[in-house]
Amino acid sequence: MRKRQRDKSGRLSVSVNWVLLLALILLSSCVNLTKSNPEKQYYALDVTRQAESGAPAAGTVLEVRRLLVAPAFQGQELVYRTEDTRYESDFYNQWFVSPSAMLTQQVQNWLINARLFEHVVTTSSYMEATHRLEGTVTALYGDYRHKDSRRAVVGINMVLIEDNPMRTAIVFQRDYHQMVEVTDTSPDGLTLAWNQGLEQVFISLEQDLRKIDLQPNHQSPASGR
């Protein structure tokens, strides 16, 4: 009697196991149990100067120093402002290179094409600079606080320093701030809006620099001397 009960119990256990196995097979065929994470996407700002260039100031060499970036925006991730005091970073949408390196290169390219200075170099150049351009990126984020008015925000503080044996002095300084409406709120649309804002910053910077006498040793009124 006990043997029959053990055999019956064993057969029941095997049957239950087969039922569970079949249920798992059917479930796996209907539901994708493996959830793949979204792939990271990478973006870069790229602004091209279209206007004609004039003659550069003879004997001038501009050294473009690497731009500093405010801590909130110096990471690889795109940044969104969602509340007045709340910012969020986007892990899956990032800059291809650091914002500092990317924006420094964009400033340098623009000023090379503008031909304000005879030469535009980086800090690694052996050429002796007559002027130095320094800057701090104060804003680089998508302002998504209001659903009906989303904007790409970019801000840069620029400082031009005349540096030669006669003197070292700040000859120009200004804060540039641009906000561009975002019609496409995807990272692609936001990046395009950032490009438009950055272009306006560079246009204004070039216009301001053209008002300055860039000849070396010139005693600019802005220097206070």
Encode pLDDT of 62-76 as tens digits: 999 999 999 999 999
What does the mean pLDDT of the chain come to? Answer: 86
Residues 30 and 50 reside in one and the same domain: no
CATH number at residue 47: 3.40.50.10610
Taking 60 as the threshold, does the pLDDT of residue 61 lie above it? yes
Residues 214 and 189 reside in one and the same domain: yes
Residues 19 and 117 reside in one and the same domain: no
What's the pLDDT at 15? 55
Residues 18 and 84 reside in one and the same domain: no
pLDDT class for 38, splitting at 50, 70, 90?
A: confident
Query: pTM of the predicted model, to two decimals?
Result: 0.79
Encode pLDDT of 169-222 as tens digits: 999 999 999 999 999 989 999 999 999 999 999 999 999 999 998 887 654 444
Residues 14 and 99 reside in one and the same domain: no
Q: How many domains does the chain have?
A: 2
Strands 68-69 and 131-143: parallel
Residues 193 and 139 reside in one and the same domain: yes
- What is the mean pLDDT of the segment spanning 104-118? 96
> In whole angstroms, what is the distance from residue 24 CA to residue 18 CA?
10
Long-range contacts of 73-76 (CB under 8 A, 24+ apart): 73/99, 73/137, 73/139, 73/140, 73/141, 74/98, 74/99, 74/100, 75/99
User: What is the maximum alpha-carbon separation in the chain?
Assistant: 115
Encode pLDDT of 15-34 as tens digits: 545 545 555 555 455 445 45
